[in-house]
Structure formats: structure tokens, C-alpha cells
Structure 1
Amino acid sequence: MAEVKVPTLGESIVEATIGQWLKSEGEAVESGEAIAELETDKVNVEVIAEEAGVLASIVKQAGETVGIGDVIAVIDVGATAAAPAAAGTAAAPSGVTADAGATQQPAAAGTVPAAQPAPAASVAPATPAPLGVRATPSVRRAALEQGVDLSQVQSGRVELAHLAARTPAAPAGGSTASGSAAAAPDANASRPDEERVRMSRRRITIAKRLVEAQHTAAMLTTFNEVDMSAVMDVRKRRKDNFKEKHGVGLGFMSFFTKAVVGALKQFPRLNAEIQGDDMIIKHHYDIGIAVATEGGLVVPVVRDADRLSFAGIEREIASLAARARENKLGIEDLQGGTFTITNGGTFGSLFSTPILNAPQVGILGMHGIVNRPVAVNGQVEIRPMMYIALSYDHRIVDGSEAVRFLVAVKQMIEDPESLLIEG
């Protein structure tokens, strides 16, 4: 037998949640094959079998919290999976002996068969999952207890939560099989038109960290607006040649990343963090780019953004965003950022106050581009305008620094040629 343990998950991560089992008890497992998925506060990690054999037992079920080194399953090394039972027959569960002389007679019409006493300590066999449907032993047992036919479930993985909607309704009259009255409804239960969904570990961690950021930092936000005419003109003229030459589109993020780097060089305390009574001012520029995924917001990091060209930044952002949405980011992709950029404009946001990504002390929020009337040289013109917001930690960043930082970003975006010098 070989124990399957929770692997080391990365710096500062000491526990995880069993997200789902990719194998069920009794299934064959190959060496190097993923058998379970762990949810951490940053990424999801697959647990890989180091030995080939049969998954003998699952020690930790989906939804349970586990620590580094915890045993979550046992593999019977070298064993082979048992062949499925022939049609119409079912193997007796381990430890339970069938009575060879006992036969079950159908009840006469209109009569109720006498209740048969259950053998002491007997265990009801779990219903086998049909071909194409994956269900853990606990799900099979729940299906049997609730009278759910797994053969009627569409192909895919069946979770305990899915069985609730398929549980047969109670008999008319509200009585149970034994004739006793049904239990009173739980006062804390949700209404029929409400759904209770357990938050994922990532969502729980996001919630905790956002609240911590609000409680530990003296967070303020300052705002400005940017005329995007010049950047949009550059993109219009250059985007086709840029994509043909570099194989990636020329987006707004490379302009803002360059502008942020240039502004951070002018105001270095926005590229710092607080450790006790010290400020750690960083002279490297690892810019986090917030990416919305199905599981929640993640912030992968573009390393050494000051050393990358526009094409290099665009390629790195595209790669990180794709891997984030495919849940393929590694722990190292999310650690060590010095400043963050978030773009709510992709979802239509016009104005917002971004929350700090601790322990960073600054975050820039981009928003939607809207044609608005503005005064230009004494004349009213329609220009594509964007509101930008800088949230900062007032413990080490003064208001004047924050305002001038945002003005520097604004000036570089409105004069893209300056990005070649400042960024």
C-alpha cells in the first residue's frame, strides 16, 4: 500500500481544500496520473499518483480541509481494478455474506409486504455509477439512500449537492415509511427559492484579504481623467503591423504598464511595502495584472516590466491571462508583485475605488472609455475619456505623492512618446 499525501503547495500556503476527486475508490491509477484536485487560496493544484495500482480508499472527502503532508488516499500498488459484475448480478459488499437460500417473492397486488429486519451491522451496497458518470462512494451511498437513479444523470462528475434536486418527493400525507410524522422543518433552512452555495477556498481567502486590507491599511483613493485620443490614434495606426510583426495585439495594458513603471520611478514609495517599522522600497518593477476568472479574481505578475518592450508586455499579459482562465497558473506566477493594475473598464465600469493588494501600497484602477465633451484650448470637443483611480496606503504615501503619481500616469498616456523615455 502507498499513501497519497498533500504535496508542498508553495510559499506561505499551509493548507488546502479537496476540490474534487478525479478517481473513485476501486479505479485503476497510473503512475503520474492526477487523482484529485486541491483548491488553495491562490491556485488549484492536482495531486499526482506516484505509484500505479488501484485507489484502495479515499481518506479525505471533497470539501474537507487538509494540511501539507496529510494522507488523503491509499493506493494498492500493483493491483488491478476488478472487472465489472455481469449484467443482472451484483457482487456482495465486502464483509457481508448473502443467504443462498433466501429468495424475494413479489408482493400481492394491494398488499404491503411485511418489514424484514435488517441484519446487524450490515451495509447497503452503493449503487454503481453508469458509464460516463463519475461519482465517489459517498455520492453513490447518498444516491441509494435518497432513491436517486444515477443512470438518469447526464455524463459527468456527480456531486452531493446535485442529488438534492433529484431526491424523490415525500409520500402524500407527510408520513414516513414507518408511519411516523415527518420531522418539523429546520428553522434555519433556506427558502425553496434560495440556493446555499459554499464558497471556494479562493473566494474565502479573497474575502479575508480584502477585509484585512481595509482594516490594516490607511487606504485612500485619488482620481483623475485621461484623454485617450493619442493612445487610440497610435493603436489605430500601428496595430496591424504590430500584430503581424510580434504575433500579439497592441492593447491598452502595455501603455498603462509602461506609464505606471515610469511613475513608480518618480515616486518610489508607491513601489514599497511595510514590514514592522520599516519601509521596503523596491527598485524592481513586478507589476500585477488583475484577471477575472470563474473561480474569482487572481493577480498574476509581469516580472521586470521595466525591461520589457510593448510586445513583451502584451505577450506576457496574454499568456498569464489565458493560463489564469484555464486554471493553469503556478504559485510562482502570483507571488512577489510590487504594484497592481486592475481594469474594470473591460466589464463596463466607469468609476470605482480599487482595494489594495496587500502587502502592496498602491493599485491603479482603469475604467471604461467614454466619449465626453471636454474643454480643449478654450473650445468644447468630444474626446474619448477614461477615469483612473489610485488607491494607496497613507501610512507611507502622502497625498501629494499619490496625486502627482496619478498626474504622471495621465501625462504619459496623453503623450505616448514620453513612454519611450520615462517607461
Structure 2
Amino acid sequence: MNEIKVPELAESITEGTIAEWLVKKGDSVEKGDPVVELETDKVNVEVNSDFAGVITEIIREEGDDVEVGDVIAKIDENGEAGNSSSTSEEKSEPQESKTEEVKETKKAETPAKEDSSAKGDVIASPAARKRARELNIDLSAVSPRDPLGRIRPEDVEAAASGASNTSKPAKEEKKPAEKTEFAKPVERVKMSRRRQTIAKRLVDVQHEAAMLTTFNEVDLTNVMKLRSERKEKFIEKHGVKLGFMSFFTKAVVGALKDFPLLNAEIQGNELVIKKFYDIGIAVSTDDGLVVPVVRDADRLDFAGVEKEIGSLGKKARDKKLEMSELQGGSFTITNGGTFGSMLSTPILNAPQVGILGMHNIQKRAMVMPDDTIEVRPMMYLALSYDHRIVDGKEAVQFLVRVKQLLEDPYDLLLEG
């Protein structure tokens, strides 16, 4: 009998939620066949079987939270699909015996020093458990700062140094309030792991960054004219439409070169000013917002940017993004205008210090330099920035530079 375990997913991912079983008990699988889909903080990943055989037991159900190394199913390499002898034996085996087997499996996988946290009343990351063993810290006495109650390595460090109040009454205060009962009908829906992560990070960034937003408006007359002039030849030559996002991506890259602190981040007491331009493009999916990254956007032409954005957007909606496609961006663009938004204050995508918000295009009567009035396609732009690094003057000048590049896109297209 072999075990199917949660494999190493990625360097920054140690846990997930079982989203969907792709097989059921009694199914025959080949080595390498996908058997379960896991939902992680950022992407959904399929777990493949390391063995060929018959699924004899599914230990963890859909919706269960699991960690790397957890046994989630068992497989018999000698079984027969639908009616294996091992399956029959397990069916006749007393339920108490099966329960003890699962308990023994988990006990064997759990180091002795984790007894207090293995009871199920403590939620901690594997790194936190390891650090607690090293420091001989009882995890049940550590107060998590995570609003979801999960203990992180820094919580263990704080408990070890005496910086955290580790008394049990203090921990009780961290527990979520009891569920409110309503007199009228409600529906309770468990938050997906991705939605929980989004919620936590949005709160974290507002606590950690000195976030401000500055606004401007851009006249897209010349962008729309240029797209109209070039669209047929562009599609014929490159096989992709000339959209708005390539113009905005190129304009952002140009402005970042002039104002490099918008392309930086804080690490300890140092500023890390990035000399590359990996631009995150926010994509809305059914499961929440993800931000795949267009790598080296400064080296791509307009067609390259459009193809990359199209490919990443499709992968995001199909839940096919790789972790490498979500990590390491230096600046983010988000387009609320696709949903009709006229104005918003986008939240930073930490540890980045700048995010540009695009909005709906609306025709408005504008007073021109010669005092005539013309109807122009206008868009409000919003730049949220971290005031710890970026001064107001620099933020305003950055946004003005983006506006200038978009209002004179012919040079931008040639240079891009």
C-alpha cells in the first residue's frame, strides 16, 4: 500500500486546500496521472500520483486544509479498479481499526516535540513548528498576529524573546468572535484560501505602508487615433490586437526610468532600486484578483506586450498560472475601467511602492489651449504610492510623465 502525499509546491507555499478530487475510491490511475487539485494562496495546482494502481482510500476531503507532507489518499499497486481485494478487506475492517491507522500515520509523521500542537487546537506553518522545536517553545502558548489565527515563525521568535504576551488568556482574545445568529435568512460561504490571503494582505499593506494616492486625467484622443490607424496592419503583422494596455505599460516603463524610486522597495533599512521592469497586470478571476507579471516589459515591443498580457490573462482565468508568473513584479497596473469604474484608489501590491489605476474612458467637453471647446475621450488616472519612499512631488511628476507619454503616443510607439 502506497501513500499519496501533498508534495513540495513552491518555495513560498507550504499549505493549501483540497479544491477537487479528480479521482474517487476504486479508480485506477497511472503514474503521473493528476488525482487532486489543490487551491493555494495564489494558484491552483494539480497533484500527480507517484504510483500506478487503484485508489483504496481518500483520507482528506474537498475543502480540507492540508500541508506539505500530509497523507491525503492511499493507493494499491496490485489492486483492481472498482473491486480490488484490498478494497474489500478495508471495507470489512472495523471502523475503529481504520481510524487508528490514520491516527498512527499522522503520529509517525509528527515529531515528538509537536505533541501540543498536533492536537488540532493550534494552527501553525511548518516553518513555525520547526522554529518552535529549535527554541523549545510550546506553540499553544504563542499568540499569532495573523488575523486568521495561524502562527508564523516571527510569532515564535517574539514569544522566545519575551516580546509577545504568551499567556493563554491572551490567546483566547485572538480567537474569532462567536458566529452571530440572524433572525432573517442568511447564507454562510467558507472563504477560499485565495480570498483569505487577499483579505490579509490588503489589511497588512495598509498597516505597514504610508499609502497615499494622487490623481490626474489623460486625453486619449491620439492613442485612439493611432489604434484606429494601425489596427488592421497590426493584426495582420503580429496576429494580435493593438490594445490600450500596451500603451499604458510602455508609458509606465518610460516614467519609471525617469523616476526610479517608484520602481523600488524597502528591505530593512535599505532601499532596493530595481534596474529591471517587470510589470504586474492585475487580472480579475472568479476566485479573486491575481497579478501575473510581464517580464522585462522595457525589452518587448507593443506586440510582445499585448501577446504576453493576453497569454497571462487567459492562464489566470483558466487557473493555469505558474508561481513563477506571479512573483517578483516591480510595479503594478490595474484597470477598474473594464468594470465601469470612474475613479478609485488602488491598494499597493506589497512590497512594491507604486500602482497605477486606470479607469473608464468618458467623452467630456474640454477647454483647449486656444480656448475652444472640444469633446475628448478622457480617463482619470490614479497613482497610489508609499510615502515612506516616494515624496508627493515625485509621485505627481511621475503621473504627469505617464500622461505626457500617452498624449503623444507616436514617439512612444516608435521608441517602444
- TM-score surpassing 0.5? yes
Output the TM-score relative to the length of structure 1: 0.75
Contact 1:35-1:49 within 8 A present in 2 as well = yes
Contact 2:26-2:83 within 8 A present in 1 as well = no
Alignment of 1:168-317 (within 5 A): 188-189=180-181, 193-317=185-309
Which of 391, 412, 415 is equivalent to 1:419?
412
Q: What is the distance in 2 between the residues matched to 1:15 and 1:55? A: 23
The residue identity in structure 1 corresponding to 2:343 is F
Residues 1:34 and 1:248: Cα distance change in structure 2 (over 3 Å)? same
Structure 2 residue 388 is matched with structure 1 residue 395? yes
Equivalent residue number for residue 26 of structure 2: 26
Output the TM-score relative to the length of structure 2: 0.76
Q: Deviations over 1:107-131 (max 9, x none)?
A: xxxxxxxxxxxxx98x9xxxxxxxx
Q: Deviations over 1:338-389 (max 9, x none)?
A: 0000001111111000000000000000000000011112111110000000
Structure 2 residue 67 is matched with structure 1 residue 59? no
Q: What SS does structure 2 have at the residue aligned with 1:94? A: helix
Q: What SS does structure 1 have at the residue aligned with 2:17? A: strand
Equivalent residue number for residue 46 of structure 2: 46
Higher helix proportion, which one?
A: 2
The residue identity in structure 1 corresponding to 2:286 is E
Q: What is the distance in 1 between the residues matched to 2:267 and 2:346? A: 22
Equivalent residue number for residue 182 of structure 1: none
Q: What SS does structure 1 have at the residue aligned with 2:92? A: coil
Which of 365, 368, 380 is equivalent to 2:373?
380
Q: Deviations over 1:226-249 (max 9, x none)?
A: 000000000011011101110000
Q: What is the distance in 2 between the residues matched to 1:256 and 1:371? A: 19
Identity %: 63
The residue identity in structure 1 corresponding to 2:342 is L
Equivalent residue number for residue 178 of structure 1: none
Gaps of 5+ in 2: 99-177
Residues 1:187 and 1:366: Cα distance change in structure 2 (over 3 Å)? closer
1:270 shift after superposition: 0.4
Q: What SS does structure 2 have at the residue aligned with 1:340? A: strand
Q: What is the distance in 2 between the residues matched to 1:307 and 1:187? A: 53
Tell which structure's C-alpha radius of gyration is larger. Answer: 1
Q: Deviations over 1:158-190 (max 9, x none)?
A: xxxxxxxxxxxxxxxxxxxxxxxxxxxx99555
Contact 1:339-1:361 within 8 A present in 2 as well = yes
Q: What is the distance in 2 between the residues matched to 1:326 and 1:247? A: 22
Q: What SS does structure 2 have at the residue aligned with 1:245? A: helix
Residues 1:247 and 1:14: Cα distance change in structure 2 (over 3 Å)? same
Which of 327, 333, 341 is equivalent to 1:349?
341
The residue identity in structure 1 corresponding to 2:40 is T
Q: What is the distance in 2 between the residues matched to 1:318 and 1:68? A: 32
Q: Aligned-pair RMSD on alpha carbons?
A: 2.3
Alignment of 1:25-104 (within 5 A): 25-83=25-83, 94-95=91-92
Alignment of 1:326-341 (within 5 A): 326-341=318-333
1:7 shift after superposition: 1.5
Equivalent residue number for residue 123 of structure 2: none
Q: What is the distance in 2 between the residues matched to 1:336 and 1:358? A: 10
Q: What SS does structure 1 have at the residue aligned with 2:73? A: strand
The count of corresponding residues between Structure 1 and Structure 2 is 333
Equivalent residue number for residue 168 of structure 1: none
Residues 1:63 and 1:187: Cα distance change in structure 2 (over 3 Å)? closer
Q: What is the distance in 1 between the residues matched to 2:230 and 2:381? A: 24
Equivalent residue number for residue 127 of structure 2: none
1:418 shift after superposition: 3.0
Equivalent residue number for residue 133 of structure 2: none
Residues 1:188 and 1:364: Cα distance change in structure 2 (over 3 Å)? closer
Q: What is the distance in 2 between the residues matched to 1:336 and 1:92? A: 51
Q: What is the distance in 1 between the residues matched to 2:59 and 2:183? A: 34
Contact 1:190-1:196 within 8 A present in 2 as well = no
Q: Deviations over 1:19-60 (max 9, x none)?
A: 121112222222211111111011001110111111111222
Equivalent residue number for residue 408 of structure 1: 401
Q: What is the distance in 2 between the residues matched to 1:64 and 1:96? A: 25
Residues 1:260 and 1:187: Cα distance change in structure 2 (over 3 Å)? closer
Q: What is the distance in 2 between the residues matched to 1:346 and 1:25? A: 44
Gaps of 5+ in 1: 85-90, 98-119, 124-185
Q: What is the distance in 2 between the residues matched to 1:27 and 1:415? A: 62
